[in-house]
Amino acid sequence: MKNNLQELDKKYIIPTYGRNYTNFVSGKNATLKDDKGNDYIDFTSGIGVVSVGHANDKVSKAICDQVSSITHISNLYVIEPQAKCAQRIVSLSGYDMQCFFANSGAESNEGAIKIARKYGEIEGETKRYKIITLDQSFHGRTITALKATGQEVMHNYFGPFPDGFTYASDIDAIEGMIDDHTVAVMIELVQGEGGVQPLDKTKVQALSKMLKSRDILLIVDEVQTGVYRTGEFLASNVYEITPDIITLAKGLGGGVPIGVVMTSKKEVLTPGDHGSTFGGNYLSTAASNTVMDILSELKDSGELDRTFIKFEAKLEEVFSNNRNLFTSSVGFGLMRGLRVKNAETLANIIKATHDKGLLMLKAGRNTLRFLPPLTISDEEIIEGFKRLDEALSSL
């Protein structure tokens, strides 16, 4: 079966991914099984997507119940679970905002850019369209979101791109890059694909204050950091700032594609300015409502914070015991990383962990990334780190 599947994949799928041909057939919480009966502890959650674990009973029921009645109509009609989902997102965020629903992080970021660009055209005498992002940022793979991404290697082959994007080397450089045509600054509070790199909280707060004083919008890309991944509902809450625009996706749907752009600039987009055929349909928002129910209850009970503490303790133990391999421990919440001394060693670690039944990710050039389900059990944490120790010992 594996060989047949591999042949099918190679024959019919455009090869944009470096595939691992393990065929997973079932899962429960942070544990997966392949077609040979091998089990794996999942420290990736589908790159931060399966926030409440694989085959979550409540999410599965919500999806089945919704599909049994209505899966999709269109955004020409009011959609009850969508309205309730928006209400829940805004309430949990603590910000006075409205939501637009899409299907992915890239689409959400496209929506954020459109809001900013229109704001820059209708507010003030000078047309403002420039957006500043950071080096090593990642904002998606559509043409515009790709151009917003501050990694030159991402820009190969696909130009010409929309203009108006510039990249600051770090947060300190942003103010000096602002000119009369700057409308927004777009940042990730913890760079995910860029290497699990948190920004300095004090500097972010100073940036937010400065931008507000100059009527420049602050866009925070929370596609990976949002929905309790970093401890609070939003990393923006952790950093104690009030952005003008926030984007979400990944963990919001627990595995069902969904994206959201939320903004306090409620008057900017008007009918006809933006749209999405699938965005916010019955299926995705029913799943999202259930995900938020599960995670907000975990947070309120203190269980989520206890999971963070348990995971961090095991991670720091691995770091302390393997200083020959790792140079630093980075990140917070359940968005963590260990900096590896070189890229070759990182590749070897990821292969070795897979061989031991543990799924891991890389971030940037040299970071071993940890993005487990937020519902991961104590037993799965212990077993996962046991397998990590075994993998590191085998190198």
281 located within any domain: yes
Domain that holds residue 292: 59-300
Give domain status of residue 190, yes or no: yes
Residue 36 lies in a domain: no
Position 142 in a domain = yes
Render pLDDT for 279-335 as a digit per residue (tens, 0 to 9).
Answer: 999 999 999 999 999 999 999 999 999 999 999 999 999 999 999 999 999 999 999
Share of the chain above pLDDT 90, in %: 97
Q: Which amino acid is at 386?
A: K
Does residue 290 lie within any of the structural domains?
A: yes
What tens digit of pLDDT does each residue of 197-211 get? Answer: 999 999 999 999 999
Mean pLDDT of the chain: 97
pLDDT tens readout for residues 12-61: 999 999 999 999 999 999 999 999 999 999 999 999 999 999 999 999 99
In a domain, 134, yes or no: yes
Residue type, 239: Y
The domain that contains 224 carries what CATH number? 3.40.640.10
pLDDT tens column, 144-195: 999 999 999 999 999 999 999 999 999 999 999 999 999 999 999 999 999 9
pLDDT of 3 above 70: no
Task: Please indicate, yes or no, if residue 384 is contained in any of the structural domains.
Answer: no
pLDDT higher than threshold 60 for residue 1: no
Work out the pLDDT band at 124, boundaries 50, 70, 90.
Answer: confident
**pTM for the full predicted model:** 0.96
Q: What domain count does the chain have? A: 1
Position 196 in a domain = yes
